[in-house]
Copies of this chain bind each other. A is one copy, B any other.
Amino acid sequence: MKTLHEAIRPTTFLEPDKLKTHLGIDLTIASETFQITGSFKFRAAYNLALNVPNGEIVTASSGNFGQGLACACQLLGKKCVVVMPETSARVKVEAVRNYGATVDLIDTKRVRREDRVRELLETMPAAYRASAYDDALVIDGNATLGAEIANYGNFDSVLVPVGGGGLSSGIVKGLCEIGSRIKVYGAEPLLGNDAARSLKAGRIVANEAEPLTLADGARTLSLGKLNWEILRDGLAGIVEVSDENIAESMRFYFGLANLKCEPTGALSLGAILERIEDFKDQKVCLIVSGGNVDTELYRQILAG
């Protein structure tokens, strides 16, 4: 049984000369597109599956956490059920199944995910209910990436995609634990800007409905409670990113960095495009959280 550090792939740092020249910014990419299962979520999922005593784990996930958890459970010999919306990217559904997990597809217009998870748990009393973000084990798993970034370079700022807050709170915690002073900025879809509104209000504010942003990994109703406790004081700010700049960032990565990136992963570069002047004189690290995107959607985005 591998420890967390043995199981994960260290992040892939890229310093793309063409992109740096084009934008005129000293940027480094921390790409989790080559992480096991293709996104950072494996860090969280493995840490959780490794440390809970239960032999069965149930979760609701729009895709990448489900994939990470399915893979972690397969490696650790645990049973895994993943509740997913019918609208999830097809490649993500297939990948979860390929890792040996049971996929439970629901129509989110009729059934709320948490209700379906509760229903399942009644038939699986020994199972652990895993949140994709609002869990201390998830945050600790993601904190490993914060530590890797601090060890790599002397950055002024790190920009990180925000959905439920699992990754961003992990980065804040990971940097904090080793005494790093790198500033952490969240990058959130403008179409689902609950975290930005929460920071302004000083309390968790939820989206009215699941936001229909291109960034399918950030289609969350609100930040998790544990994540909020860390983010409320831990973030230097949040940048709201239009879907246009998410798509443009994916094209920049393709054309100027040879990097295949999923929409949610492109949020951090999107934040640079939104506020380029704010980051001009900084040494910036952009976290690309994952690379799993449907082929047809990717083709459409490349067409511009």
Instruction: Tell me if A52 is interfacial: C-beta within 8 Å of chain B.
Output: no
Instruction: Tell me if A34 is interfacial: C-beta within 8 Å of chain B.
Output: yes
A58: min CB distance to chain B, Å: 23
Instruction: Tell me if A91 is interfacial: C-beta within 8 Å of chain B.
Output: yes
Contact in complex: A17, B71 (CB < 8 Å):
yes
Contact in complex: A34, B299 (CB < 8 Å):
no
- Contacts known (A91-B255, A255-B295, A295-B255); A38 close to B12, Cβ less than 8 A: no
Instruction: Tell me if A258 is interfacial: C-beta within 8 Å of chain B.
Output: yes
- Interface SS of chain A: helix, strand, loop or mixed? helix
B-contact bits for A1-41, CB 8 A (1 contact / 0 none): 00000000100101111100100000000000110111000
A14 contact set on B, CB distance < 8 A: 34
A38 to B257 alpha-carbon distance, docked (Å): 8
B-contact bits for A287-304, CB 8 A (1 contact / 0 none): 000011001001100110
Which of A34, A98, A302 counts the most chain B CB atoms within 10 A? Answer: A34
Instruction: Tell me if A103 is interfacial: C-beta within 8 Å of chain B.
Output: no
A299 contact set on B, CB distance < 8 A: 299, 302-303
Instruction: Name the residue on B nearest A260 (C-beta).
Output: B260
B-contact bits for A226-264, CB 8 A (1 contact / 0 none): 000000000000000000000000010011011110000
- Contacts known (A254-B295, A255-B295); A37 close to B12, Cβ less than 8 A: no
Instruction: Name the residue on B nearest A36 (C-beta).
Output: B17
Instruction: Name the residue on B nearest A298 (C-beta).
Output: B302
A251 to B254 alpha-carbon distance, docked (Å): 15
A86 to B263 alpha-carbon distance, docked (Å): 35
One of B91, B95, B295 near A302 (C-beta < 8 A): B295
A255 to B98 alpha-carbon distance, docked (Å): 14
A91 to B18 alpha-carbon distance, docked (Å): 12
What is the total number of residues of chain A having a CB less than 8 Å from a CB of chain B? Answer: 31
One of B16, B18, B21, B291 near A258 (C-beta < 8 A): B291
A121: min CB distance to chain B, Å: 29
A92: min CB distance to chain B, Å: 12
Instruction: Name the residue on B nearest A95 (C-beta).
Output: B18
One of B9, B21, B98, B298 near A18 (C-beta < 8 A): B98
One of B258, B295, B298 near A34 (C-beta < 8 A): B258
A13: min CB distance to chain B, Å: 10
A-B contact pairs, 25 of them (CB 8 A): A12-B12, A14-B34, A17-B36, A17-B37, A17-B71, A18-B37, A18-B95, A21-B98, A34-B257, A34-B258, A34-B259, A38-B258, A91-B255, A251-B295, A254-B295, A254-B298, A255-B295, A258-B260, A258-B292, A259-B260, A295-B302, A298-B302, A299-B299, A299-B302, A299-B303
Q: A residues near B, CB below 8 A?
A: 9, 12, 14-18, 21, 33-34, 36-38, 71, 91, 95, 98, 251, 254-255, 257-260, 291-292, 295, 298-299, 302-303
